[in-house]
Structure 1
């Protein structure tokens, strides 16, 4: 009996091959577990890997020819597809003091994320032209511990760049209906959107929206700007609802795929459901912070909780959970949007002036599981909301998001029962400021495998980055339809 098996017998711990058996950075030929999450079942199985691809999935013990040095036997730990996070702000090039590919992708690997999609801002330059996209690819080269895809951006007057960017490998574009917070990425007008929709007709592209409209009266000068209730009042639900109504009208008119990023307000859910019944090709994401944090528990001056749209009340949060359960929200993402700590203005705690964005990339899986498990969600729900549906969003569903023969051998190995406290020393983001410091979470990641390579195990990373740049090939017609005006 091995040391691992003896320990398991006496302590009930899972059988885990020690790091000396399979070095981080090594190729894994077989992954064995008593809990493998396949399409319709959680079962004991072994996953056979050849050249980075899953070739067979067999009953446990059904394959005996592999060398022990190539087998990762994780006992009762859960093996499921690697998490895909389609909403991450890496900020490189240009704002590497905020974050960067090296630190962001290491944090991702430590959190079980094997693929992430970088937003077109807040890098300098933003990803709004083919030239800028090439600049971003050069900056990311040789730095990524996980696979990377890239969204493009829509800004006023860059319509001529959109189809060339699709040909260059971008799966879709993000735009803002309100100020983005950075001058180099201005918001678009309704007329801009009509032009963009015409250009994207006949393509497989998707248009992502930061869905807020600036249609409020503002905040009185006498307001206490260190009170979170003041900030929440400054970004009411109607800003999201009106924006989403505008998006739905465009989506129904042009039948171009649209996606609502970081839905915060549950008040928008009825019109989204109605739009889908009417045939609108629209999808929706929400974030870990909207599902975990609530406005009643944000202290005065705690600007590291600031994000836009804002964190809302607990009753709103429960409606978001119900929508996830019923399939009206399609996925859960991090919207990891870090900055240097000084931009959070913690000295004066001004919510209006502080940078908006929450760092959470590394902790998405346990954040979701901690709150989801007690609401009746299971492991297949995790795969649906954090692997399969994000893969579909960025057109990777034929190679990622599931454990199937022919798919990339991307896996997260984790213990859904293990509890831990978020402490600063374990955070791999460039900056450690996050609302989740001190949180007690359930669901600890043990290892991550990227296309058959053990990239992370128990606090250790592969010596060199081995992530690829994923360029999505688009099919497109030569011309779109005429606009309605």
Structure 2
């Protein structure tokens, strides 16, 4: 359709999105994007027209980004929504509202900490029933691998789950048991030839380290209010040994594998060696590992706790280096909230507190702000937060770029504008986060889902939840 002129569209009712800085095909250019039926139907490159005779005036809607950046909507492929079963922690309505305000147009829900966990076709249906009609952005779903559920995997693949997650160590919830190497051999035999992906929480218990993560396992003299006490209970070795196992199995079965929330830079050469040997292996890190550092975590500030832990500044710098060199493929939130009582703020006990950081609303700005120290560009941001996360979740032909035929999912944002995180602006259910009062750079102006403005910084969220369940069609 690119051969057509503006006037050739005048008989169609469509929406138009235009701007001086539009991300198209690895470039930031003036462009006008035409949308019909929620899909991108044409892109006029190097054209930012305000001609009164142009097609925009005959369109249903014209959204002009002007000098702001117009880029693909962010795809966050690692979000714990927790509904049903632990909806006091988070839910589909609040999580997707937070996502929309943060410029995210698609999230992919993790199979825990909901009850039931998404480890069978029947539990997947229960989760879909909970989500319908609530979502302000699109939602995909990961299934889970637990001991003994191998016969459920192919049915869930056929139902449209994005792939499967497993834990190599205690997950923290009894409904989602961790797997052994023997369990993984069984599961991976089921997944051979399916093109599905197996996601690994890659920590293993090394000589008792990290098992249950309780106070009794730490020396009596240790102060459980100090972050260092917790950090020493989850050393780098736990990740390194787990990733060695993942690489071995990935090479053996050639099933797509993915390391979630990598925190230990020491494991990066192991991952690269496996890739060089032909392993279909990808890896992500998170916004908290790229923004926070163990040296700066105050005593008793248990809202900084996550697993694997936030490590030191030197480690953070090496993670950023790996992001920029593309050794790390993508960056996600790992949004994992809980109710405040589970953080044990009264005692500030890092060992007893639930491990998880809430940040889904702030990912774009967190990445952009911290990335200024590492020469991050807008194209780097699109690669790490949009393109590669879409591909991981099997959405590469639908999401992640401004391309004809793909969903008209966009975020319009101001890279130069700074703002401060305040509790009253937080949309996710539990407001406890390490980022309160943090000044961030990069302000979201509008979030567009299939051509619908679902968030506007001046008017707020849309009244109607426009989000779709990305595998719901399988059950119609």
Measured against the shorter chain, the TM-score band is over 0.9
For the structure 1 residues 439 and 160, does the alpha-carbon distance in structure 2 shift closer, same or farther, using more than 3 Å as the test? same
1:50 and 2:49 equivalent? no
* Cα contact 1:128–1:153 (8 A) shared by 2: yes
Within 5 Å, which residues of 2 pair with 1:66-145? 66-67=56-57, 70-145=61-136
* Cα contact 2:128–2:472 (8 A) shared by 1: no
Which structure 1 residue ranges, 5 or more long, are not aligned?
1-26, 475-485
User: SS in structure 1 opposite 2:369?
Assistant: helix
Deviations 1:378-405 (A, max 9, x none): 1110110000000110111111100011
User: SS in structure 2 opposite 1:280?
Assistant: coil
Within 5 Å, which residues of 2 pair with 1:59-458? 59-61=47-49, 64-67=54-57, 70-217=61-208, 218-458=217-457
* Cα contact 1:166–1:473 (8 A) shared by 2: no
Work out the CA distance in 2 between the residues paired with 1:45 and 1:159: 48
For the structure 1 residues 472 and 325, does the alpha-carbon distance in structure 2 shift closer, same or farther, using more than 3 Å as the test? farther
* Cα contact 1:35–1:76 (8 A) shared by 2: yes
| Range 37-46 or range 146-155, more displaced | 37-46
Work out the CA distance in 1 between the residues paired with 2:67 and 2:115: 45
Work out the CA distance in 2 between the residues paired with 1:130 and 1:410: 29
For the structure 1 residues 170 and 473, does the alpha-carbon distance in structure 2 shift closer, same or farther, using more than 3 Å as the test? farther
User: SS in structure 2 opposite 1:374?
Assistant: helix
Work out the CA distance in 1 between the residues paired with 2:288 and 2:472: 29
Q: Paired residue for 2:24, among 34, 38, 49?
A: 38
What residue number does 2:9 align with?
A: none
Deviations 1:297-329 (A, max 9, x none): 000000000000000000000000000111100
* Cα contact 1:28–1:454 (8 A) shared by 2: no
What residue number does 1:468 align with?
A: 468
What is the CA distance between 1:74 and its match in structure 2? 1.9
Work out the CA distance in 1 between the residues paired with 2:425 and 2:281: 37
* Cα contact 1:102–1:143 (8 A) shared by 2: yes
Deviations 1:390-439 (A, max 9, x none): 01101111111000111100000000000001111111111111000010
Work out the CA distance in 1 between the residues paired with 2:200 and 2:107: 18
Which structure 2 residue ranges, 5 or more long, are not aligned?
1-12, 209-216
* Cα contact 1:415–1:445 (8 A) shared by 2: yes
Deviations 1:76-131 (A, max 9, x none): 01000000000000000011100100000000000000001000000010000000
For the structure 1 residues 472 and 390, does the alpha-carbon distance in structure 2 shift closer, same or farther, using more than 3 Å as the test? farther
Work out the CA distance in 1 between the residues paired with 2:162 and 2:18: 34
What is the CA distance between 1:192 and its match in structure 2? 0.3
Instruction: Note the aligned Cα RMSD (angstroms).
Output: 1.4
What is the CA distance between 1:473 and its match in structure 2? 9.7
For the structure 1 residues 287 and 28, does the alpha-carbon distance in structure 2 shift closer, same or farther, using more than 3 Å as the test? farther
* Cα contact 1:176–1:209 (8 A) shared by 2: yes
- Corresponding pairs, count: 448
What is the CA distance between 1:57 and its match in structure 2? 1.1
Work out the CA distance in 1 between the residues paired with 2:200 and 2:258: 6
Work out the CA distance in 1 between the residues paired with 2:225 and 2:207: 20
Work out the CA distance in 1 between the residues paired with 2:318 and 2:255: 28
* Cα contact 1:167–1:473 (8 A) shared by 2: no
For the structure 1 residues 230 and 28, does the alpha-carbon distance in structure 2 shift closer, same or farther, using more than 3 Å as the test? farther
User: SS in structure 2 opposite 1:304?
Assistant: helix
Deviation beyond 4 Å, 4+ runs, structure 1? none
What is the CA distance between 1:28 and its match in structure 2? 7.3
What residue number does 1:11 align with?
A: none
